[in-house]
Amino acid sequence: MTKQKNSKEERFRESVKNEILSFFELNDDRSWSLNQVHKAFAVRDRSTKELFATLVEVLTKDKKLIRQKDGNYIIDRVTEFVTGKVDHVNARFAFVVVEGREDDVWISNQDLNGAIDGDIVKVLISAKRKKGSDRAEGEVVEILEHGRSEIVGTIELLPNYAFVTPDSKRLYQDIFVPREALKDVKHGDKVIVKITKWPLGERKMEGVIQEVLGKAGENNTEMHAILAEFGLPYHFPEGVEQEAEDISEKIPEAEIAKRKDMRGITTFTIDPIDAKDFDDALSFEQLENGNYQIGIHIADVTHYVQPNTILEQEAFKRATSVYLVDRVVPMLPEKLSNGLCSLRPNEDKLTFSAIFEITSKGKIKNEWFGRTVIHSDKRFTYEEAQEVLDLNNPPAEAPVTINETTDVATPAEEVKPKRGRKKKVEEPTTPEVPFLHELTVLNNLAHILRAERFANGAVNFETVEVKFKLDENGKPLGIYQKIRKDAHKLIEEFMLLANKRVAEYVYKLRKKEPRNTMVYRIHEAPDPEKLRTFSTFAKKFGYSVATEAAQISSSFNQLMEGIEGKPEQNILESLAVRTMSKAKYSTDPIGHFGLAFPFYSHFTSPIRRYPDMMAHRMLQHYLDGGDPLEKAAWEVRCKHSSEMEKLASEAERASIKYKQVEYMSMMEEERVWDGIISGVTEFGIFVEITETASEGIVRMVDLKDDFYDFDRDNFRIVGQRNGKVYTFGDKVQVRVKECNLARRTMDLLLAGANESRGGGKKDKERFNSRHRSKSDSRGRDNRKKDYKGGKDNKHGNDRKKRK
């Protein structure tokens, strides 16, 4: 009863405080005395006057009001407040990322006031600036929303309590768990802990065990922990699974009758060897005029996942499938993703198609978009399709009879695929090789489309993809880098074509404002400052990167061509990608810089991406003659989809990093690896091992041949005595010192730099004092002391700071 009463009083006080603030905001042209405020609110009784006086003082303390020399108050229009998300980059400071603001706000750790990574906070911008920086500084004055209420970590049990060490590298304090809040958990288990008390002043976080994931170090435990760390689900609610199971597998004849029947046209899929969700297929037909009719057929997910169903709600919530090293966490239940919607061979399937009449020179003469039914003749893996292409025995091209002066498509209805029996395809040169002719022609067209993209200013980003050979328990047996060949690029080009032309079609369908609302995949030009920084990095490898807008694309493409197959390829490709802006979803058609497309959407993967489902629904709406859709609601979905894509990408990288560290932990300790310096900081140098694309750190304290100073401006460290320089891009040799699977980190030793640096006792003390606090330690040296006495002293001091 008392709690309820206190809660009502607090809500009342907060309401009155907000009314007072609103009064000052509306009357910001003058100052007001307390008596004048009382009169304005018709306050007469003493207790209410005292409350108003108290609340005015609170607003002054919160720097929302200013008390003037004459004792009057006025709204603070000078102090700047911003709202943003905490990005806690290391134990000493964080940034608050403010949407629409060019620079992030720097916050020292002591000014976070209990905020942790991911929290939405209100920040008071300070007038001062960090020495040597133009970046704004600030202080968190209010936590508006906690970014996470559940945290994944490893539990350590002590006699009277326990605490959880978070897996996230951006959480720098343990979570206290009282003995009475422990479930059936064992020391060293990976757990999900629900926060019950947030940090405040000297008080640390407290929580209770929500779920025990299993023993730390086991593959399933770690993969589930990674998903939980990023707030991603790894199973479907029962109701969602049941709704999927209730969908009939039989396609009604009435539904087929509504669609264009493409079952008589040669059709096939090309996917990874371990894929089960085939969401795109290609059809091929050679026309009598010598042109080709190419169909790009996409699983019609929105036929099965209807609006206002729990399937739809779950698809929106997830927004994307998540691809970890050893598994796929699908956006849709298996009944849909691997069954009903998957374009499996020798089955009739419902699809949404983009069909093009294309000349042998790659010019589009006609296009058609709409719902279809197909029957795939063959399921190719990329390797199988490549084997056919490697025969390199293309048939002679048929003569072209169509005027090649324009690539403007004619209206949709002009392409009319035939129904019923299959049209006889021209016999390949080698009859015993099925689909040789079809694949060869498609590959030739893909080369033309690709060349046209680059001629128009597209950027060639073919980043190295790290893959693993795993045993039945998920343990890595080997690491290799995936090589993209023509079969991959063939599929890529036709998917790009469909995505591009769908976006163009919707935009140009309505000639006047307001234009048709559409979900676009947008990509802005790179930030000039990041571009200049990358150009400086590239020069250290001997490459030149232009920073002028008109030359960026060609310069990047020359770089990518120049580094192919070289040790620095992976690191420069990764840095080049980071230099670019992040692609995202939006209803604003601002174009795609990387692809050099003025209009681009995502239409081709609705089994694994919610934005593609959005695009299908919007396209059908406009094909049916619908008016422009209301923009705001779709923009909200676009933003959510972009955020979920980012989380999924981070989870994927975390799983790769875990397996890389696990693999390296199994290698011989004395083995020497070739590597490249990928980063330089005040506490050490990061090295990427060329063979495995694994990154680790060589700490300053482990450079025993000299004392090294950090030269921030030149991205290097310099020996005080020997003058030895280690800089970004240098080729080095390293050995593995320690692999920490819990943190997914690897400590390295620089081969040849570990002899004694000499010097007396004072030199060693000076070195240790300079670098000890800059380590990545999560040591527990003082834990028993800090927590001695159990519950009375349970919060203790924070663990050692780390970078």
Residue 657, domain member (yes or no): no
Tell me how far apart the alpha carbons of residues 605 and 337 are, in angstroms, rounded to a whole number: 11
103 compared with 597, residue with greater pLDDT: 597
Instruction: Please give the pLDDT value at position 531.
Output: 86
Q: Are strands 260-261 and 364-375 parallel, antiparallel or unpaired?
A: parallel
Do 450 and 318 share a structural domain?
A: yes
pLDDT mean over 9-32: 87
Q: Are 746 and 738 in contact (CB under 8 A)?
A: yes
Do 502 and 449 share a structural domain?
A: no
Contacts of 176 by beta carbon, 8 Å cutoff, 6+ apart: 161, 163, 204, 205, 206, 207, 794, 795
Contacts of 187 by beta carbon, 8 Å cutoff, 6+ apart: 155, 156, 157
User: Is the model's pLDDT at 161 over the cut of 50?
Assistant: yes
Strands annotated E in 433-493: 465-470, 476-482
Residue 266, domain member (yes or no): yes
68 compared with 266, residue with greater pLDDT: 266
Coil, helix or strand at residue 710: strand
Predicted confidence band of residue 400 (pLDDT cuts 50, 70, 90): very low
Residue 427, domain member (yes or no): yes
pLDDT mean over 166-181: 89
User: Is the model's pLDDT at 409 over the cut of 80?
Assistant: no
User: At 693, which CATH number?
Assistant: 2.40.50.140
Q: Are 447 and 580 in contact (CB under 8 A)?
A: no
Q: Are 244 and 332 in contact (CB under 8 A)?
A: yes
User: Is the model's pLDDT at 779 over the cut of 60?
Assistant: no
User: Is the model's pLDDT at 159 over the cut of 90?
Assistant: no
Residue 265, domain member (yes or no): yes
| Residues 317-358 pLDDT 10s | 999 999 999 999 999 999 999 999 999 999 999 999 999 999
Instruction: Please give the pLDDT value at position 649.
Output: 95
- pLDDT above 70 covers a percentage of the chain that reads 86
Do 308 and 258 share a structural domain?
A: yes
| Residues 227-271 pLDDT 10s | 999 999 989 999 999 999 999 999 999 999 999 999 999 999 999
Instruction: Please give the pLDDT value at position 354.
Output: 98
Tell me how far apart the alpha carbons of residues 236 and 242 are, in angstroms, rounded to a whole number: 10
User: At 58, which CATH number?
Assistant: 1.10.10
Tell me how far apart the alpha carbons of residues 64 and 58 are, in angstroms, rounded to a whole number: 9
Do 719 and 580 share a structural domain?
A: no
Q: Which of 226-230, 301-305, 425-429, 718-722 has the lowest mean pLDDT?
A: 425-429
Tell me how far apart the alpha carbons of residues 449 and 441 are, in angstroms, rounded to a whole number: 12
Q: What share of residues in the chain are helix, strand, coil (percent, to 5)?
A: 35, 25, 40
Do 123 and 29 share a structural domain?
A: no
The two structure tokens encoding residue 665:
């932990």
Instruction: Please give the pLDDT value at position 6.
Output: 62
User: Is the model's pLDDT at 420 over the cut of 80?
Assistant: no
Select from 619, 647, 675 the last residue of a domain: 647
Which DSSP symbol is given to 633?
H
Residue 464, domain member (yes or no): no
User: Is the model's pLDDT at 78 over the cut of 50?
Assistant: yes
pLDDT mean over 596-619: 98
Predicted confidence band of residue 550 (pLDDT cuts 50, 70, 90): confident
Instruction: Please give the pLDDT value at position 401.
Output: 31
List C-alpha distances in Å: 683 to 171, 710, 748, 763: 19, 8, 13, 17
Instruction: Please give the pLDDT value at position 771.
Output: 45
DSSP string, 480-548: EEE---HHHHHHHHHHHHHHHHHHHHHHHH--SSSPPP--EEEBPPPPHHHHHHHHHHHHTTT-----S
**Total residue count of the chain as it appears in this document:** 803
Tell me how far apart the alpha carbons of residues 227 and 306 are, in angstroms, rounded to a whole number: 27
642 compared with 31, residue with greater pLDDT: 642
Q: Are 604 and 279 in contact (CB under 8 A)?
A: yes
User: Is the model's pLDDT at 629 over the cut of 80?
Assistant: yes
- The number of folded domains in the chain is 5
Residue 526, domain member (yes or no): yes
User: Is the model's pLDDT at 396 over the cut of 50?
Assistant: no
pLDDT mean over 36-50: 90
800 compared with 34, residue with greater pLDDT: 34
Instruction: Please give the pLDDT value at position 799.
Output: 30
Q: Are 197 and 208 in contact (CB under 8 A)?
A: no
578 compared with 435, residue with greater pLDDT: 435
User: Is the model's pLDDT at 130 over the cut of 80?
Assistant: no
| Residues 504-547 pLDDT 10s | 999 999 999 999 999 999 999 888 888 888 888 788 788 888 88
Instruction: Please give the pLDDT value at position 128.
Output: 55
The two structure tokens encoding residue 131:
């020495």
Q: Are 686 and 695 in contact (CB under 8 A)?
A: yes
pLDDT mean over 732-759: 81
Residue 40, domain member (yes or no): yes
Across the chain, mean pLDDT equals: 85
Do 566 and 537 share a structural domain?
A: yes
Instruction: Please give the pLDDT value at position 669.
Output: 84
Instruction: Please give the pLDDT value at position 225.
Output: 94
Q: Are 785 and 800 in contact (CB under 8 A)?
A: no
Other CB atoms closer than 10 Å to residue 24's CB: what's the count?
Answer: 21
Do 115 and 33 share a structural domain?
A: no
Q: Are 534 and 604 in contact (CB under 8 A)?
A: no
Do 503 and 621 share a structural domain?
A: yes
Residue 656, domain member (yes or no): no
User: Is the model's pLDDT at 56 over the cut of 60?
Assistant: yes
User: Is the model's pLDDT at 397 over the cut of 50?
Assistant: no
- pLDDT above 90 covers a percentage of the chain that reads 60
705 compared with 771, residue with greater pLDDT: 705
Could you tell me the sign of the dihedral formed by the alpha carbons of 552, 557, 560, 562, in that order?
A: negative
pLDDT mean over 88-117: 89
Q: Are strands 136-145 and 694-699 parallel, antiparallel or unpaired?
A: unpaired
Instruction: Please give the pLDDT value at position 338.
Output: 95
User: Is the model's pLDDT at 772 over the cut of 70?
Assistant: no
Select from 17, 49, 75 the last residue of a domain: 75
Do 103 and 65 share a structural domain?
A: no
- Nearest residue to 222 via CA among 783, 738, 670, 740: 740
| Residues 460-490 pLDDT 10s | 876 678 899 999 999 999 998 888 899 999 9
User: Is the model's pLDDT at 503 over the cut of 90?
Assistant: yes
- Nearest residue to 803 via CA among 720, 721, 725, 743: 743
Tell me how far apart the alpha carbons of residues 312 and 637 are, in angstroms, rounded to a whole number: 13
User: Is the model's pLDDT at 86 over the cut of 70?
Assistant: yes
Do 281 and 416 share a structural domain?
A: yes
> What single letter denotes the amino acid at residue 21?
L
Do 62 and 127 share a structural domain?
A: no
473 compared with 5, residue with greater pLDDT: 473
Q: Which domain holds residue 610?
A: 486-647
Residue 575 exposure: Cα atoms within 13 Å on the Cβ side: 26
Predicted confidence band of residue 754 (pLDDT cuts 50, 70, 90): low
Predicted confidence band of residue 131 (pLDDT cuts 50, 70, 90): low
| Residues 681-698 pLDDT 10s | 888 999 999 999 899 999
List C-alpha distances in Å: 67 to 32, 36, 56, 73, 217: 10, 14, 10, 5, 58
Select from 127, 145, 163 the last residue of a domain: 145
Coil, helix or strand at residue 96: strand
Do 538 and 491 share a structural domain?
A: yes
User: Is the model's pLDDT at 605 over the cut of 90?
Assistant: yes
Instruction: Please give the pLDDT value at position 182.
Output: 80
